[in-house]
Chains A and B, each alone.
Chain A
Amino acid sequence: MKKPAIMPGWAGKLWLALFLTILVAHVSGCKGVASPGGAGKPAAAVAEPNVTFKDLEGNNLVLSSLKGKVVLVNFWATWCEPCRGEIPILIGLQQKYNAKGFTLLGAAMDDEGKKVVEPFVKTTQFSVGGQPATMNYPIVLGNDDIASQFGGLLGMPTSFLISRDGKIVKKYMGALNENQIVKDVESQL
């Protein structure tokens, strides 16, 4: 019986190269970060957008002015229940890591802006570790233009972790997992 022919040598090398390429892409993809607006695509950390927010007092807050700190930009809205649900986690992060060079930045996306955001921020109490607390981190007003500079938002909450050197290292769509965000923040400090 005739032995079946095997692949020609050049074809084997070609497929081996392809296999190794796929393997490398696969492995690096596992550790990839979401590029803004493109979850799932492995990408190197990307520079933070050149964004200027307005805070609730009407002052400008330039994102790049926070360079040197680890920043978690959290897009949220007062009408968004999962956003409200994660606020105690965010307060806890600010309490624990602010002195170590971390800050949160809450970008409120309410269409009504300051009118609804300010009273919410000033009066709403959250339970953090069993203790009542209000939002203890800077709140700024977001809008679609700003969101588009982050690659656009499909939903809220959406958060971006920015390294000390001003690069977006991770994007979180949906409610944060406390253990994961703590681990990620600590890895940047």
Chain B
Amino acid sequence: MKLTRQFWQFTACCALLLAAGLANPAASLAQESAAPMPAASVVKASMYVSHDPVPRGQDFQIAVVVNIVEGYHMNSHKPRESYLIPTTLTPQLPSGFTLTDTVYPNGELKKFPFSPDKALDVYTGSVTLRLKLHTGASAAIGATTVPATLRYQACNNSACLPPVKLALSIPVQVAAAGTKTKALHPELFSSAGPK
């Protein structure tokens, strides 16, 4: 069978209509049904350690870089309203480690369509949270992991996702006291610090 130009043009038209037909119900429901993303998909976290190895008796830091999908925000660590769920980073420290501080970045004040008169203190884009830790004399030498939980609650411009507890696992190499160590990722751990 010889397929003509008209045949292919007609086929292309049908394909376009099919695509429109499949897409349109979603589009027509968009005002009422802008489906949010699954809560766990909105945030990606990457972990970094300030030193390798970490000698016993030394302070070190862990940075958690949180990337938030465009169009979404999450409450900062200090949301302005007490009922909002703050972002928290909580380590479950192995024996021999102590937490000296948790450093949260400042949020930004933003208004949203659902809160036009009240600015909310939120994180958007990429933010870095830091754990300041100390390796004690009893910390096991060798490879270990520091588990931590990132808790966040994200929203887009019209809906909020359920709070999420994201389990993190940060590998740390512990060495004997006095072992030479290399400072890593100064862009994250310098005194100025990241955003």
Interface string of A14-40 (1 = CB under 8 A from B): 010011001101100111111000011
Task: Tell yes or no: B5 within 8 A of A by CB.
Answer: yes
Distance in Å: Cβ of B183 to nearest Cβ of chain A: 40
**Of B1, B5, B28, B160, which is in contact with the most chain A CB atoms at under 10 Å from its CB?**
B160
Interface residue count for B (Cβ, 8 Å)?
Answer: 47
Contact assessment for A82 and B24 in the assembled complex, using a CB-CB cutoff below 8 Å:
no
Stretch of A50-58, A64-72, A96-104, A170-178 at the chain-chain interface: A170-178
Interface string of B10-48 (1 = CB under 8 A from A): 110110011011101110110111111111000000000
Given the complex, which residues of A lie within 8 Å of B114, measured CB to CB? 81-82, 85-86, 175
CA distance A40 to B26 in the complex (A): 4
Using known A-B contacts A6-B6, A7-B7, A109-B162, determine if residue A30 contacts B24 with beta carbons closer than 8 Å: yes
Task: Tell yes or no: A11 within 8 A of B by CB.
Answer: yes
Partner pick for B155 among A29, A81, A86, A111, CB 8 A cutoff: A81
Chain B interface main SS type: mixed
Task: Tell yes or no: A146 within 8 A of B by CB.
Answer: no
Distance in Å: Cβ of A4 to nearest Cβ of chain B: 5
Distance in Å: Cβ of A96 to nearest Cβ of chain B: 20
Interface string of A150-185 (1 = CB under 8 A from B): 000111111000000000001111111100100000
Given the complex, which residues of B lie within 8 Å of A155, measured CB to CB? 36, 39, 155-156, 159-162
Given the complex, which residues of A lie within 8 Å of B22, measured CB to CB? 29
Interface residue count for A (Cβ, 8 Å)?
Answer: 50
Partner pick for A22 among B2, B11, B17, B38, CB 8 A cutoff: B17
Partner pick for A79 among B11, B39, B120, B153, CB 8 A cutoff: B153
Contact assessment for A7 and B38 in the assembled complex, using a CB-CB cutoff below 8 Å:
no
Given the complex, which residues of B lie within 8 Å of A175, measured CB to CB? 113-114, 158-159
Contact assessment for B7 and A11 in the assembled complex, using a CB-CB cutoff below 8 Å:
yes
CA distance A155 to B20 in the complex (A): 27
Given the complex, which residues of A lie within 8 Å of B85, measured CB to CB? 79
Given the complex, which residues of A lie within 8 Å of B81, measured CB to CB? 81
Given the complex, which residues of B lie within 8 Å of A23, measured CB to CB? 17, 21
Distance in Å: Cβ of A185 to nearest Cβ of chain B: 13
Using known A-B contacts A15-B10, A77-B160, A81-B160, determine if residue A177 contacts B32 with beta carbons closer than 8 Å: yes
Task: Tell yes or no: B163 within 8 A of A by CB.
Answer: yes
Task: Tell yes or no: A92 within 8 A of B by CB.
Answer: no
Task: Tell yes or no: A1 within 8 A of B by CB.
Answer: no
CA distance A80 to B83 in the complex (A): 8
Interface string of A75-90 (1 = CB under 8 A from B): 0011111110110000
Contact assessment for B160 and A156 in the assembled complex, using a CB-CB cutoff below 8 Å:
yes
Residue of A nearest to B34 (CB): A174
Distance in Å: Cβ of B26 to nearest Cβ of chain A: 3
Shortest 10 CB-CB contacts between residues of A and residues of B: A40-B26, A174-B158, A29-B25, A82-B114, A26-B21, A155-B159, A39-B33, A155-B36, A174-B159, A80-B160
| Known contacts A7-B4, A30-B28, A82-B158, then 12 further A-B pairs from the complex at CB < 8 Å, ordered by chain A residue | A4-B4, A29-B25, A32-B25, A39-B35, A40-B26, A42-B25, A81-B84, A81-B155, A155-B36, A155-B159, A173-B158, A175-B158
Residues of A in contact with B (beta carbons under 8 Å apart) = 4-8, 11, 15, 18-19, 22-23, 25-26, 29-34, 39-42, 77-83, 85-86, 109, 111, 120, 153-158, 170-177, 180
